[in-house]
Amino acid sequence: MQYRKRALRGKSHLAFWLLACGAVFGSSVHADDTTIYSGQKIAFLGDSITAYGWEQPSGYVRLVVSGLASNGIDVVPIPAGVSGNKSNDMLNRFDADVVSKKPDWLTISCGVNDVWQTNGLSLEQYSANITKIVDKAQAAGIKVVILTATMISEDQAAPNNQKLIPYNEFLRHLAQQRHFLLADLNRDEQAELAKARSAGWTPNRYLTVDGVHMNPRGNVMMATGVLKAFGLNDAQVAKVKDAWLDAPGSCSANLVYQVTVTKEMTLRQYLDVQNATPRDSGSVTDMLQSLLNKEMTAVLTRDEAGGIDGVKKQVLQKIDQDIQQNSDRENKK
């Protein structure tokens, strides 16, 4: 018996660019081709953006899965993102990493590495590889969702972003030609950055951690685009975002406070320390660093609040207070 739970039907009017002449076409995709059910499997094919999208609690792959679940659609994810991959790499591993897993759906996020790597691929090579991937998917009965490649630095005028334009035009045309669902994430990203600029931001790391890989805000942008491609309406997306915002532990920051101590010595002292240092224990600096670590630990351990763990607890409590104060100020705006 086929289990179906609250099917989503996408009836959005999507705009696509025809690569050959640049004309805009509108197309409504048949409901049968855009219905996703509980129990179905989605393969997420991509590069490091997709790999991190699964590995991180707030990654876009995780958010897509939880977003569907928030609307009653419990899917089985098949993470298939590999760092550094270009379209040829994804084609080479497609049978093993996707077809063999028998997914019902496939999302493809590819293009950044083809453009910006020094050994990147031409548009002709890229389009041939992507076409072969979707041919294989369709031959295996897998429904395809095309994701346009996200930006390479948060500046559309940058050379790599200009170079990326025809790659994304090809993806839009392919989606229109094959009647695939399309998540135009590059367009969405540019729109988000435009809003940020109008609000006084100077985008640089607004959606990304390094100009390419998404931070939590960027992951929300990507996941929202994918969910809308699957057919979620505005009310359903709003419900999803509420669930995302308050999910415990979805974001984290590793904080390091470094203490630098400079120890001045005479040449005699340096040589004496070196002579006293066991031959297999490293340099003078290594030995003194070991002593510093030992003394710092002793100082923190004597803390009345409970040693190092106690200090960490106090610091985290103060950070929590500051974060809450910032949240309160933002909510009052």
Taking each helix axis from N to C terminus, what angle separates 123-139 and 87-97, rounded to the nearest 10 degrees? 10
> How many H helices and E strands in the chain?
12, 9
Give the pLDDT score at 124.
98
Both tokens of 283, joined, read 């340099």
Question: Does 4 or 269 have the greater pLDDT score?
Answer: 269
Both tokens of 242, joined, read 């509420």
- Looking at 83-92, 126-135, 237-246, 256-265, which range is the least confident one? 256-265
Whether 3 maps to a domain, the answer reads no
Spatial separation of the C-alpha atoms in residues 247 and 169, rounded to whole Å = 36
C-alpha distances in Å from residue 234, one per residue of 66, 145, 228, 238? 16, 19, 8, 6
Q: Is the pLDDT of residue 110 over 50?
A: yes
3-state secondary structure of 106: strand
Whether 304 maps to a domain, the answer reads yes
Find out whether 54 and 120 touch, Cβ atoms under 8 Å. Answer: no
Spatial separation of the C-alpha atoms in residues 240 and 251, rounded to whole Å = 17
Q: Is there a single domain that holds both residue 323 and residue 178?
A: no
Q: What is the pLDDT of residues 215-247, one digit of tens each?
A: 999 999 999 999 999 999 999 999 899 889 888
Q: Is the pLDDT of residue 9 over 80?
A: no
Question: What is the extent of the structural domain holding 321?
Answer: 267-332
Q: What is the pLDDT of residues 52-103, one digit of tens each?
A: 999 999 999 999 999 999 999 999 999 999 999 999 999 999 999 999 999 9
Q: What is the pLDDT of residues 150-205, one digit of tens each?
A: 999 999 999 999 999 999 999 999 999 999 999 999 999 999 999 999 999 888 89
Q: Is there a single domain that holds both residue 216 and residue 288?
A: no
- Quick count: other Cβ atoms within 10 Å of Cβ 235? 9
CA nearest 60: which of 196, 183, 210, 190? 183
Rounded mean pLDDT, 40-48:
98
CATH of the domain at 236: 3.40.50.1110
Q: Is there a single domain that holds both residue 324 and residue 279?
A: yes
Give the pLDDT score at 296.
81
Q: Is the pLDDT of residue 17 over 90?
A: no
Whether 90 maps to a domain, the answer reads yes
Tell me the CB-side half-sphere exposure of residue 45, using CA atoms within 13 A. Answer: 33
Q: Which residues contact 204 (CB under 8 A, 6 or more apart)?
A: 154, 211
Give the pLDDT score at 52.
97
Percent of the chain with pLDDT over 70: 87
pLDDT band at 214 (very low <50, low <70, confident <90, very high): very high
Give the pLDDT score at 78.
98
Total domain count, the chain: 2
Q: Is there a single domain that holds both residue 301 and residue 241?
A: no
